[in-house]
Structure 1
Amino acid sequence: MEESHKRDFRKSCIKRLEFESRFSKIYKDKKVVKDLYTFIKKYKAKRVLLYIPMGIEVDVMPLLKKLRKERECEVYVPYMVEDSFKAVKYRLPLKRKKFGIKEPPNSNFKARKIDLAIVPVVGVDGLCKRIGFGKGMYDRFFYRLGYTPCIVFTQLKLCKTPKILSNDYDIQANYIITN
C-alpha cells in the first residue's frame, strides 16, 4: 500500500464530505442518529463510546444527550492524551482543545469495558478499515484497549474504495451506518 494513495483518497473524501455537509446536513444527521440509536438499543449496549463531532462528521450530540438522559447506558467520549486518547464519561463543560476538538474535563475515573464504539470516518477501504484524519489516535486507542468492542463507523455519506489502503494496525468496522 502506497501512503500517497491513502493520502489522496483521504483528501478526496474530505472534499466530498465538505460538499455533502453543505446540503441538508441537519436532515442527514438526524437520519444517521436515528439509525445509530436503533442500533444501540438492538445491541443492548450498556457502555457506549461516542465522539464530539467536528464539522464534516455526523452530529451525534442529540444522540449523546438522549442516551445520557435515558440513563440506560454509560456514555464515554475521547479525551486526548499524548498520541492517543482515553475514554472519559461525557460531562460538561466542553472545552476546545488540540486540533479544535471539544472535550469534557479530564477524569481519573477508569472507564469500564466498552460494549460499543461509534467512530467517525473520513473513508473506508476495501477491507472496511478506517481512513481517518491521519493522526492514528483511534488505532492506538483500540490497540492499547486490550480487547475489541463492537465498532460502528459512521459518516454523512459513504466514501469507500474497493482498494486496500489500510495498514495492519488500522481499525476495522463491524458495521457502517451512513445516510
Structure 2
Amino acid sequence: MKLADNKAQKSLLRRKMLGQRQRLTSDQVKIWSQQVSQCMLKDPLFQQARTIMGYASFRNEVDLSPLLGRSLMQGKQLLLPVTDWEKQQILPVAVERYPADLRPGRYGILEPARDQKLWPLEAIDLVLVPGVAFDFQGYRLGYGRGFYDRFLTQLPRHTKIVGVAFNFQLVPTVFPEKHDVPLPVIITERGMINRLGSRRI
C-alpha cells in the first residue's frame, strides 16, 4: 500500500473510532474503565512494578483513576505525562496526590504542574499507554502527533509497556508504518491480550 493511501486509511479509522468512543454513555465508560482497572490490579505487571506511568483520561478514554489511586495507596511511585508542545514530546512527572496535583493543560487535558519532579526514564517499571485503536499485532493508532511513538522508543528494555483500550477499539489492522513499534500487551475490560491475539484473563 502506498504511503499516501496508508495515511488516508489511518485517518479514516481514527475518525471512525473517535466517533464510536464519543458515543459511549458515561455509565459505559465508568463500568468498563473499572473493569480495566480491576484486570490491571490483578496482573503481575502491575503488582511487581514500583514506578508506574499512567495518564489522565480525556474524551471518553479508559479512565484509570481507580488504578492510579490504588497505586499511591500501595506506596508505588505514580507518574503522569506533561506535554512539551514546543519540543513535541511528553515528559514523565511525579504525582504525590491524585488527582489533587493535576491542572488543566492544553485542550483541557489534566497533567501535573511543570514544577513537579521530572522522572528518569530508566527508573520507570511500567507505562500504561492510551490509544484510539490497537490491532492484534500490538500496533497502536494514536491521535496523529507522534508524542507517544517518540516517547516509547526512548524507554529502556526493562520497562514494561501496556496499551489501554476498550475492547471495541481492537481492530484487524491500524495500518502500521515501517517506523511503528508494536506493544507486547494490551488490556481491555475483557482482560489482558498478548501480541497476536492470545488472551489471558
State the TM-score, normalizing by the size of structure 1.
Answer: 0.87
List per-residue Cα deviations over 1:60-112 (Å, max 9, x = no partner): 112111110110x2111101123011111124431111132111112344335
Match of 1:96 in 2: 104
How many residue pairs end up in the alignment?
178
Distance 1:41 1:124 in 2: 19
Query: Do 2:89 and 2:150's aligned partners in 1 also have CA atoms closer than 8 Å?
Result: yes
Partner of 1:75: 78
Confirm or deny: 8 A CA contact 1:10 1:131 kept in the other structure: yes
Q: What's the secondary structure of 2:21's corresponding residue? A: helix
On the 8 A contact 1:93/1:104 being kept in 2, the answer is yes
**How far apart are the structure 2 equivalents of 1:126 and 1:35?**
19
> 1:40 Cα shift?
4.9
Query: Measured at CA, do residues 126 and 40 of structure 1 come closer, stay the same or move farther in structure 2, by a change above 3 Å?
Result: closer
Query: More relative contact order in 1 or in 2 (CA 8 Å, sep 6+)?
Result: 1
- Matching residue within 139, 145, 153 for 1:135: 145
Structure 2 spans left out of the alignment, 5+ residues: 190-201
Equivalent-residue separation in structure 2 for 1:80 and 1:141 (angstroms): 11
Structure 1 equivalent of residue 197 of structure 2: none
* Identical pairs, percent: 23
* Contact 2:45–2:160 (CA under 8 A) maintained in structure 1: no
User: Is 2:24 aligned against 1:4?
Assistant: no
Q: Offset of 1:162 from its aligned partner?
A: 2.3
Using the TM superposition, give the Cα deviation of residue 125 of structure 1 relative to its aligned residue in structure 2, in angstroms: 3.3
Structure 2 residue 115 is matched with structure 1 residue 110: no
Task: Kindly indicate whether residue 159 of structure 2 is the aligned counterpart of residue 149 of structure 1.
Answer: yes
Question: Which secondary structure does the structure 2 equivalent of 1:77 belong to?
Answer: strand
Instruction: Say whether 1:52 aligns with 2:56.
Output: yes
| Kept after mapping to 2: 8 A contact 1:96/1:103 | yes
Picking from 32, 36, 53, the partner of 2:40 is 36
**SS of alignment partner, residue 48 of structure 1:** strand
Q: Distance in 2 between matches of 1:135 and 1:83?
A: 8
Q: 2:126, 2:95 → 1: CA distance? A: 15
Give the secondary-structure state (helix, strand or coil) at the position aligned to 1:20.
coil
**Which stretch of structure 1 is more off in the superposition, 93-102 or 104-113?**
104-113
Return closer, same or farther for 1:42/1:79 CA change in 2, 3 Å cut-off. closer
Unpaired runs of at least 5, structure 1? none
Q: What is the TM-score with the length of structure 2 in the denominator?
A: 0.79
